[in-house]
A and B are shown apart, each in its own frame.
Chain A
Amino acid sequence: MKRQLILEDGTIFKGNGFGSETGVIGEVVFNTGMTGYQEILSDPSYCGQIVTLTYPLVGNYGINRDDFESITPAFSAFVVKEVADFPSNWRSKWSLDEYLKMKNIPGIAGVDTRKLTKIIRQHGTLKGAICSVDENPLEIMERMRATKLRSDQVKQVSTKSAYASPGRGNRIVLVDFGMKHGILRELNERNCDVIVVPYHTTAEEILALCPDGIMLSNGPGDPKDVPEAIEMIRGILGKVPMFGICLGHQLFALACGADTAKMKFGHRGSNHPVKDLKTGKVAITSQNHGYTVEEDSISGTELEVTHVALNDQTIEGLAHKTASAFTVQYHPEASPGPEDANPLFDEFISLVEKAKQGDANYAKA
């Protein structure tokens, strides 16, 4: 089945369809990871996006039962050079093609994805459409121009109701803005008693759960589209230790008075170096974000920059000067990508422990 990818600048890539044959319009982004397509396709942060993978062979090890980061993929489409028709790995259950067909998500293969990546790099993230080659590109471009990309992605991917993932340890309320399962997994591994709540849960509702710590998850889109979360964070800040990841980090920055902005083409991949300004050490991190906290908006807030991206010096980590709260732009839960930053979860837990200790001392005194 011949398909085409049409970009808003008029570039057309022809290729072979795989997965479903539906037509989609979305923002086209690239990810440079060489492994991890299963985690990428199930990462809710890609909600509504057409994702191209720069590594040319996709689907080599198939799709397995375990490595999903959400139950239902929220991304729009895959654009690849080659899709494996014969995956090989002991855990493989489906081929990528079979899986995407099951989930009604289209893909296009046979694309010069390096050319596409360079266009995105030079032009910045842009809109694209995947459709049959029989469609008229001019009409499609017209439709693309007319389409306003949705801004309620968080609502779409966040859990509809709260649920518990019980444990015997610290109670963590995990606010789901489009949470990757990896975050929940890391908390569970640390015996946390996790309650996952929808994105619009209020500070009062959360505090009523008597949490020892608050975890702000990753999620799709522009943080400014989720004002209710910003409100919630303000309501909790200083009361309970807080840790934010990705969108959670951006929302936290906004709540503290800093500003965010859209990046030209974002950071998406498994090889992003981040420098810890305290230790001077660099961690190779997994990233997926199209927005960033603006550096010059930090002054005058109660925030300090703890981590920066080595390559473009953008902010990768923040801590509150007085409240017990820190956030990172990247993904310590990895999945996919390197696990260098995994100890951040331990840091969070010790922050939680310390706060509890402090409360106990306070109670005693």
Chain B
Amino acid sequence: MPKRKDVKSILVIGSGPIIIGQAAEFDYAGTQACIALREEGYKVILVNSNPATIMTDTEMADVVYIEPITLEFVSRIIRKERPDALLPTLGGQTGLNMAVELANSGILEECGVEILGTKLDAIEKAEDRELFRNLMNELGQPVPESDIIHTLDEAYKFVEQIGYPVIVRPAYTLGGTGGGICSNEEELIEIVTSGLKYSPVSQCLLEKSIAGFKEIEYEVMRDSNDNAIVVCNMENFDPVGIHTGDSIVVAPSQTLSDREYQLLRNASLKIIRALKIEGGCNVQLALDPDSFNYYVIEVNPRVSRSSALASKATGYPIAKLAAKIAVGLTLDEMINPVTGSSYACFEPALDYIVTKIPRWPFDKFESANRKLGTQMKATGEVMAIGRTLEESLLKAIRSLEAGIYHFELKDSANFDDAIIEKRIRKAGDERLFYISEALRRGVTIEAIHEWSKIDFWFLHKLQKLIQFEEQLKNAAFDGELGRKAKELGFSDKALAKLWKSNEKAVYLWRKKAGIIPVFKMVDTCAAEFESNTPYFYSTYEEENESIKTDRESVVVLGSGPIRIGQGVEFDYATVHCVKAIKEAGYEAIIINNNPETVSTDFSISDKLYFEPLTVEDVMSIIDLEQPKGVVVQFGGQTAINLADGLSDLGVQILGTSLEAVDRAENRDKFEQAMLELDIPQPLGRTAMSVEQAVAIATEIGYPVLVRPSYVLGGRAMEIVYKEDELLHYMENAVKVNPEHPVLVDRYLTGKEIEVDAICDGETVVIPGIMEHIERAGVHSGDSIAVYPPQSLTNEVKAKLVEYTQRLAKGLNIVGLLNIQFVVSKGEVFVLEVNPRSSRTVPFLSKITHVPMASIATKVILGHSLHEQGYESGLVPEKDGVYVKVPVFSFEKLRRVDITLGPEMKSTGEVMGKDITLEKALYKGMIAAGMKFKEHGNVLLTVADKDKEEALTLAKRFADIGYQLVATSGTASYLEAAGVKVKTVGKIGSEGPNLIDQIRGGKAQLVINTLTRGKQPARDGFKIRRESVENGVPCLTSLDTAEAILRVLESMTFSAGAMIQPASRKEGVLV
């Protein structure tokens, strides 16, 4: 069927900030969709609040709005742009929910906007638990016994009938927010209560638990002519019970016979046809491992994380084709973009095995509850491809960058057998590795199956890996076994350990022995058709299909899985780097392992290698491609961390030299450089021992900022106010020794400033300066950043510019750099320099129209800034105010302290822009998910050191009509200053206390600052968690509170009474 002519312009809704459950996969989907729709000649209007994405680049759509995805703002855009249609299925749950909200509000009808792809009633049928169940009954598709409940009482009734365990699934929430499995009454109360709270319609599905069934997913597509296909099916390594986003997943299914495969395929196609979806859809099914019984678990009537995975796993671009289907094209008239010769209406055949492993944030949140269940906790994922399961799995493991290069448990000796059994029974993020240890200790696969219900097929493979290690141990540098080990995916590092050698020796031996990988193509068709897709993976087999071309090439290292501290921003920079390399006339080769991202779309680069980012895996590609060099400065710390190892093997690192990187990152060298360049920095030293740290702190004076050297995202960084806190930190948070020194710095209270710049050795271009709302001490990634700075004098700005130029040239930067300054009492100090692309590159690039990653790439390739038309200095400030507001995923992570500090905790960000700071902040905060109430209660519990400052804020809240509520300490302080405040009991006190206040919905805002080392810290933790659990904004920095206050003040008319004359009498006319 030809595409629609009656539709001319289409509004595409993005997915907003990266949060757990909704990550870079929607940048990939949205970007593909925008390209696809424009290819077909439609005008695309895009709205997304996330500035860190490729899709919000101005060239991606005809009109790009970086505005909050809320009814208010999207309606405004619809009124202004008058699109003919709306495509809601590419922006994740956010896009889908927004479409429903828009439709319900009546604006779509008012403005004549048609919903494309999936119709509203289909969205409702798939998303609303009750409608979904009805539909499944109509179709004769089995669903687990379940009941929709709206109260805890109803939940009790259900459990009485069905018994425990039951699964709670709140309606209309992301990544299973608020859901879980309950095995007893206590869990039932907790999970049902929170589930009802998180569901926007206060509705949960209670479901008979079918934990232990095989969890199978089908990615299906359908067009308007009712053609329907399966793009890919996937089998979860972890049986039902763990959210699929938190499960290890392989594609295609491994343990299903054809009959089972077709049984579930038929069910999936029946469902997508019944829903009349025009586009992509994900169907999750549970299959009894001992019969043909199955249940339909869930249907996502849109592209999803799984569809991104399926696209990368098969090569079949689901989002692109879904967008084209939405405008009326049918599968049978579209060419398969991978082969270029066959049609899109077919089912990809894989001739390899794909493994996905989630990446969890528990390395940053050590106190978090690491148990996995129905609520997703992973921030990102890695994918690996191999010709054997073992190869695919081991490649995925080393892609995780978790410090593990093999199927083994870190610190394995520290765990007794009971712990190991427990960790296998109750899955956490490291279950796979506990299984490895169990197998090493001789636990049978029968026992492990009993504990985990993981299919024997997988367990047997894992057991054989362990057994093979024993064989390898006694066969150092044996050619035949060495080759077999490589076929099974063993890394050189793992072999080196078994052979008591080192990685380099193994690598060199391997090359000499001719044990080198070949690269095979991902072509959707198992080689049946000729295909020119430049998408490759390595394996140890005979035929190599990746042929080096005559063109000179440049290799770009990507940033691996999305994690806290290394988000989609780095993929943004990577993609721009690749494009710039192509523009400069080189062949651009990218290596990355994240299936969610735009950079791993095979149409972005000239060649895509889907591989782990380790020295070994990168070297295999370099040995084949012989590139001009490797670019490492856009792939975050992942890429930077490989520079040494690669350089050691003779690889040319392009851009800032390794020595220069070291000078910026090595504390002592940096200090020396700052002295030479005459740039002040806070006093500080490097400590090699606990005693030394104490001595340094005493010398420079408390508070001090302590952190291990070479860290990402401020990991394990803390501000300590006294010696006992320092001792506690040194003994618990870090392992200090001469190889792992700890940095101790004077903590300066002041404004934190962030600058990004590009340097070619001569010229230093500074696109912009950003000022942070939160004072220094809060990680820059967690601070609200403002462009242009609002409170800096011209002298300070000039100094910042001057220091930046001096630093960039003095440190011999070639390419990008990011500098954090602190301005304290009018003085500028440099905190740190990152000799690479930073988190703020996309934000600043979009505001200033300076394509930073692209310019920097060309600088790296030898084109001076001058040649590119740029002069030294600060680029003139743009009109308007732009704020970058961090977004957290705390509601997904139980037991994580939400206090802002030097360690980064946010998962994503949004941008707010307008003509004043207040308006920009309003938008930024709304986009970040905050809901402003014009009146209500502010609950204050602040540390002694903050009381004075809090008083000013309290008065201002009172002035605009907020009621203040505080615990006795804070309350008496406020009352003494003449502020009216209601006192509530502390935690544990008699009668209603502040927790009840929060639970009862009687707090609209919570301000809580940290008191360290005492019991109140634990109370504080409870208050903060309670706020998160109840969806009440909780601010842990007075600066953020002040910013919100400014917004509220600007929104509200003040209610000031007329000033009473001093004496009544005088006022009366006599």
Contact = CB atoms under 8 A, between A and B. Distances in A.
The answer to whether A and B come from one shared complex is yes
Contacts of A160: none
A61 interface: yes
B693 to A, nearest CB: 53
Given A55-B349, A271-B349, A282-B332, A60 B254 contact: yes
A86 B255 contact: no
B349 A90 contact: no
B525 interface: yes
Nearest to A275: B332
B262 interface: yes
B258 A336 contact: yes
Interface in A176-211: none
B237 to A, nearest CB: 13
A86 B460 contact: yes
B285 to A, nearest CB: 15
Nearest to B336: A311
A311 B336 CA distance: 10
B346 A114 contact: no
B1030 interface: no
Interface string A293-313: 000000000000000001100
B387 A56 contact: yes
A282 B222 CA distance: 11
Interface in A54-109: 54-57, 60-61, 64, 66-67, 81-82, 84, 86-91
Contacts of A90: 289-291
A217 interface: no
B402 interface: no
Given A32-B526, A273-B332, A334-B262, A114 B349 contact: no
A335 B345 contact: no
Interface stretch (A34-42, A130-138, A220-228): A34-42
Contact of A272 (B253, B346, B530): B346
Contacts of A60: 254-255, 457
A281 interface: yes
Contacts of B387: 56, 81, 114
Interface string B361-401: 00000000000000000000000000111000000000000
Contact of A311 (B256, B257, B529): B529
Given A35-B256, A60-B457, A118 B350 contact: no
B254 A310 contact: no
A231 interface: no
A270 B349 CA distance: 9
A39 B261 CA distance: 13
Contacts of B1016: none
A270 B346 CA distance: 10
A324 B261 CA distance: 35
Contact of A115 (B346, B460, B541): B541
Among A13, A61, A82, which residue has the most Cβ atoms of chain B within 10 A? Answer: A61
A33 interface: yes
Contact of A121 (B332, B389, B530, B541): B530
A30 B541 CA distance: 18
Interface string B229-257: 11000000000000000000000111111
A45 interface: no
Count chain B CB atoms within 10 A of each CB in A32, A66, A282, A334 and give the residue with the most.
A282
Contacts of A66: 259
B347 A270 contact: yes
Nearest to A311: B342
Contacts of B290: 90
B345 A273 contact: yes
B550 interface: no
A55 B526 contact: yes
A259 interface: no
Given A32-B349, A35-B257, A61-B257, A115 B388 contact: no
Given A60-B254, A117-B527, A87 B351 contact: no
Contacts of A248: none
B225 interface: yes
The B interface, classified by DSSP as helix, strand, loop or mixed, is loop
Contacts of A114: 351, 387, 520, 526-527, 541, 543
Contacts of B525: 32
A112 B518 CA distance: 11
Interface string B312-350: 000000000000000000011000000001110111111
A88 B456 CA distance: 6
A185 B257 CA distance: 18
B261 A35 contact: yes
A280 B258 contact: no
A23 interface: no
Interface string A2-46: 000000000001000000000000000010111110110000000
Given A310-B346, A311-B346, A91 B530 contact: no
Nearest to B487: A110
B528 interface: yes
B782 interface: no
Interface of A is mostly: loop
Contacts of B541: 112, 114-115
A273 B258 contact: no
A269 interface: yes
A284 interface: yes
Interface string B586-620: 00000000000000000000000000000000000
Interface string B523-540: 001111110000000000
A334 B263 CA distance: 12
Contacts of B388: 56-57, 81-82
Interface in A313-365: 334-339
A118 B543 contact: yes
Nearest to B445: A86
A113 B266 CA distance: 29
B501 to A, nearest CB: 27
Nearest to B389: A57
A282 B262 contact: no
A82 B388 CA distance: 8
A84 B520 CA distance: 22
A88 B528 contact: no
Contacts of B227: 281-282
Contacts of B351: 32, 54-56, 113-114, 117
B1054 to A, nearest CB: 67
A310 B345 contact: yes
Given A32-B528, A117-B527, A54 B349 contact: yes
Contacts of A117: 351, 526-528
B265 interface: yes
Contact of B259 (A57, A67, A87, A311): A67
A88 B255 contact: yes
Contacts of A275: 332
A112 B352 CA distance: 11
B518 to A, nearest CB: 8
A34 B252 contact: yes
B455 interface: yes
B353 interface: yes
Interface in B53-98: none
A57 B262 CA distance: 18
A112 B229 CA distance: 29
Interface of A: 13, 30, 32-36, 38-39, 54-57, 60-61, 64, 66-67, 81-82, 84, 86-91, 112-115, 117-118, 121, 269-273, 275, 280-282, 284, 310-311, 334-339
Nearest 5 A-B pairs (CB), nearest first? Answer: A88-B457, A54-B526, A36-B258, A115-B543, A336-B258
29 contacts: A13-B542, A30-B528, A32-B525, A34-B349, A35-B252, A35-B257, A35-B261, A39-B258, A54-B349, A55-B252, A56-B388, A57-B353, A57-B388, A84-B457, A88-B456, A114-B351, A114-B520, A114-B541, A115-B543, A117-B526, A121-B529, A269-B526, A271-B346, A271-B348, A273-B343, A273-B345, A281-B226, A284-B346, A311-B346
Given A56-B388, A311-B346, 10 more contacts: A32-B351, A36-B258, A38-B257, A54-B351, A84-B457, A114-B387, A115-B542, A117-B527, A271-B347, A311-B529
